[in-house]
A and B are shown apart, each in its own frame.
Chain A
Amino acid sequence: MPWYFYLALKQLFPTGRKFPFFTAISVMGVALGVGVLVIVTSVMGGFGYELRRMIVQTDGEVQVKSRAIMDDAPGMLRTVRAIPGVVGATPYVAGPVMVLANGHPAFPMFRGLDLETVEGVANLGRFIRIGRLQDLDDDAVILSTEVAQQLGATPGDSIEIYSPLLIEKLKSDEIFLPRRFKVVGLFEIGHQHLDSTTIYGTIRAAQELYGLGQGAHGINVRLQPGVTEDEAVVRLNRVLPPGTQAFSWMQSWESFLWVLNLEKTINFFLLLFIVIIAAFSVMSSLLISVVRKTREIGLLGALGAKPREVALCFCVQAFIIGTTGTAIGVGLGFGVLAIRNHLVHGIAGFLNREDTLKQFYQFTNLPAHTELSDLVFTVVAAIVISTLAGLLPAWRAARLKPVEALRSE
């Protein structure tokens, strides 16, 4: 080991001292900055990741939509299934309705599912808390827990659904009575927007509510693992008729994902300042060290050290502080992420604000997903910034003339 590396280690972790206090302070500064960066980028990444999981598990990776009604849904379904990489496709009808139960109104989206094909695309079963998907029939619905709460409805209750078709019929002096459905189950996806605005029924019931005949609003598509959404969209759009187009889930949620990504990037750069501030503290403590050890630096020159090596000794100290702080910070970040839900629920519960949390942050649990690229960027940035903090002290140390340094008081 070169002497400057050895001495840097010894100055940070001196022989015979169990707890190097000054080193620990510098290291903790970097560790806290890195820890916060890991937590924030992971939570922001988690929102995007959870969103993807929920969308893909409820709607599939790709949606085929028509500008008008998709009249020949079975034919379109055959076309979509013939595309390489498509492993499942299911038609759907979705639109807003008014629901009345126990005198309470709600205005959710009614999503009509094709029970024969939906499980090949969506994994809705895992979100159902009471009842089963198979319990659905043309006179039954499954409500989200939020909608059920708004209506005061429970499984076994009867609800009335009014569709926009009712208004159309009224214009031509026809009477169109609301449809009565039985609640056969409750589901909870975990995303506040979806949970507060969705009820599931059969596609036939939805077609009837909207007067679509055999038509559909679109087709949800499940892809083979390894096939990318963009690839599948290109293949589908090549064969779809004019007026019908395939969209990946990212395209459908483009604006929301862009905002999420922007928030993540802005947060990253704002929080990077914590690491920069920590680096200033490293620089300050190393500058003090240069002043305090002036005579030792002179001695090193007398022993045969070159100015470049003296500089390296201080750069190595900054590098070690940066590396150790980053390693501890990454551990700290992942540690906090592991208990994040306990922390969030504990704080929200203490403040009696669990509902507000759900309402504004959309998820019942705080999501977290660490992208390897984000982690690598955080680690590299923290180590580079901390090491750069050692340059000024290193330069000052290297400039000291041994003969003057040895004379200093």
Chain B
Amino acid sequence: MSNAVLAGRALAKTYLSGDRRIAVLREVSLEVAAGESVSIRGESGSGKSTLLNLLSGLDAPDSGTIEWGGAAPAVDRRAKFLGMVFQSFYLIPELNAEQNVLMAARMVRTPTAAARARTKELLARVGLAERATHLPAQLSGGERQRVAVARALLNSPQLLLADEPTGNLDEQTGNAVVELLLELCRESRTALVLVTHNAAHAQKTSRGLFLHEGVLR
């Protein structure tokens, strides 16, 4: 797959637990093309989040290589290239919904009128136009996650990594969030890697993978 947005090759990661070395990932390889959505499932502790951390460049593999659009991951490129959605939302409590979304643009440069307009557009798209000025504490879990989705997509990234984005939500809200995520990624041809426990959510992606004992199948 030559036009891969994301390519991880022969990734390995080992953790020390006391005197024991635990190999969490062994020779994991993965490529994701533009507009493709890939789900990764696996038991708890199987290394899904570790893999996502490596792919996002937040952690370094013990061996193997990662490429973002054919180049090595770099902090300078992260804000533009990559969007991330987490299980715990991670909104900044001092900022309202609109300001939280706009924070992604601020990481690149001072927000332009276009970025502000896109923020409004994305908030409307995730159904929170009326709640733009509400603080995270005033939003429900589903609403917070929708703000996080809007934030992740604000800079029109080529890749979106979602780490169990429905883990803290009820089934109905979780389904709505995943539908929204897939729909928005499809529209903007953003590659999506979705880590999830939920088989139904995984089935909605274009490719499903399973991580077991450090090996991706």
The answer to the question of B184 belonging to the interface, with a C-beta cut-off of 8 Å to chain A, is no
The contact of A296 among B79, B84, B92, B110, by CB within 8 Å, is B92
CB-based contact B86/A16 at 8 Å: no
A402, B58: Cβ atoms closer than 8 Å: yes
Give the contacting residue for A304; candidates B78, B86, B90, B135; CB below 8 A.
Answer: B78
Partner of B53, one of A7, A16, A403: A403
Chain B residue at minimal CB-CB distance from A10: B94
Segment of B3-11, B98-106, B118-126, B191-199 in the binding face: B98-106
B96 sits at the interface (CB 8 A):
yes
Question: How far is A14 from B53 in the complex, measured between Cα atoms in Å?
Answer: 30
In the complex, are the beta carbons of A406 and B86 less than 8 A apart?
yes
Q: Mark A154-170, 1 if CB is under 8 A from B, else 0.
A: 00000000000000000
Known: A11-B94, A14-B94. Is A303-B53 also a contact (CB below 8 A)?
Answer: no
Closest to A296 in B: B92
**Given known A302-B56, A403-B58, contact A16–B96 (CB-CB < 8 A):** yes
Measured between alpha carbons, how far is A305 from B78 in the docked complex, in Å? 9
Would A299 and B99 be within 8 Å (CB), given that A1-B110, A304-B107, A403-B53 are in contact? Answer: no
- Partner among B76, B79, B80, B94 whose Cβ is within 8 Å of the Cβ of A15: B94
Q: Is residue B59 contacting chain A, with contact meaning CB distance below 8 A?
A: yes
Q: Interface size (A, Cβ < 8 Å)?
A: 24
Residues from chain A with a CB closer than 8 A to the CB of B94 are 10-11, 14-15
A193 shortest CB reach to chain B, Å: 59
Q: Which of A54-71 contact B (CB under 8 A)?
A: none
Minimum Cβ distance to chain B for residue A261 (Å)? 47
Decide if the interface of chain B is mainly helix, strand, loop or mixed. Answer: loop
Chain A residues touching B, majority SS: helix
Bits for A5-42, please: 1 = Cβ < 8 Å to B, else 0: 01100110011100000000000000000000000000
CA distance A165 to B110 in the complex (A): 87
| Distance of B149 from chain A, by nearest CB (Å) | 14
Contacts of A333 in B (CB 8 A): none
Interface centre among B86, B88, B106 (most CB of A within 10 A): B106
Instruction: Please give the distance in Å from A291's CB to the nearest CB on chain B.
Output: 15
CA A171 to CA B82, docked complex, whole Å: 108
* Residue B24 lies at the interface, judged by CB distance under 8 Å to chain A: no
A301 proximal to B (CB < 8 A): yes
The residue on B at minimum CB distance from A12 is B94
Range of interface residues on chain B?
Answer: 20 to 34
Which of B75, B82, B99, B104 is the one whose CB lies under 8 Å from A10?
Answer: B99
B158 nearest CB across to chain A (Å): 14
Chain B nearest CB, measured from A26 CB (Å): 16
Q: How far is the CA of A138 from the CA of B82 in the complex (A)?
A: 99
Number of A-B residue pairs, CB cutoff 8 Å, is: 65
Q: Is the CB of B135 within 8 A of A15?
A: yes
Q: Are A296 and B95 in contact (CB under 8 A)?
A: no
| Alpha-carbon separation in the docked complex, A15 to B53 (Å) | 31
Tell whether, in the assembled complex, residue A302 and residue B58 are in contact, meaning their CB atoms are under 8 Å apart.
Answer: yes
Give chain B interface residues in 105-158, CB to chain A under 8 Å.
Answer: 106-108, 110, 135
Per the bound structure, the CA–CA distance linking A10 and B93 in Å amounts to 10
B135 partner residues in chain A, CB cutoff 8 A:
15-16
CA distance A2 to B58 in the complex (A): 22
- Closest Cβ–Cβ distance, residue B157 to chain A (whole Å): 10
A295 at the B interface (CB under 8 A): yes
* B161 → A minimal CB distance (Å): 9
A258 interfacial by beta-carbon distance below 8 Å: no
**Which residue of the partner chain A has the closest CB to B108?**
A304
CA distance A95 to B101 in the complex (A): 84
Which B residues, 193 to 208, have Cβ-Cβ distances below 8 Å to chain A? none
State how many angstroms separate the Cβ of B30 from the closest Cβ of chain A: 18
Minimum CB–CB distance from A251 to chain B (whole Å) comes to 60
Contact, CB under 8 Å: B103 / A303: yes
- Tell me whether B58 and A304 are in contact (CB under 8 A): no
From 74 to 111 in chain A, residues with beta carbon under 8 angstroms from any chain B beta carbon are none
Bound Cα distance from A401 to B57, whole angstroms: 11
Chain B residues positioned under 8 Å from A396 (CB to CB): none
* Interchain CA distance A302-B90 in the complex, whole Å: 10
- Show 21 A/B contacts (Cβ-Cβ < 8 Å), sorted by A: A7-B103, A10-B94, A10-B95, A10-B99, A11-B94, A15-B96, A15-B99, A295-B88, A296-B92, A296-B93, A298-B90, A299-B92, A302-B90, A303-B78, A303-B104, A304-B80, A304-B107, A305-B107, A306-B75, A306-B76, A401-B58
Other than the given A296-B90, A304-B75, A304-B76, 20 more pairs (CB < 8 A) read A1-B110, A3-B103, A3-B107, A10-B92, A15-B94, A15-B96, A16-B135, A298-B90, A299-B90, A301-B58, A302-B58, A302-B84, A303-B78, A304-B79, A304-B80, A304-B82, A304-B107, A401-B58, A401-B59, A406-B86
Q: Give the interface of A toward B (CB within 8 A).
A: 1-3, 6-7, 10-11, 14-16, 295-296, 298-299, 301-306, 401-403, 406
Query: A-B pairs with the 10 shortest C-beta distances?
Result: A304-B79, A14-B94, A3-B106, A304-B78, A299-B90, A403-B58, A304-B107, A403-B59, A10-B94, A402-B58
Residues of B whose CB lies within 8 Å of any CB of A are: 53, 56, 58-59, 75-76, 78-80, 82, 84, 86, 88, 90, 92-96, 99, 103-104, 106-108, 110, 135
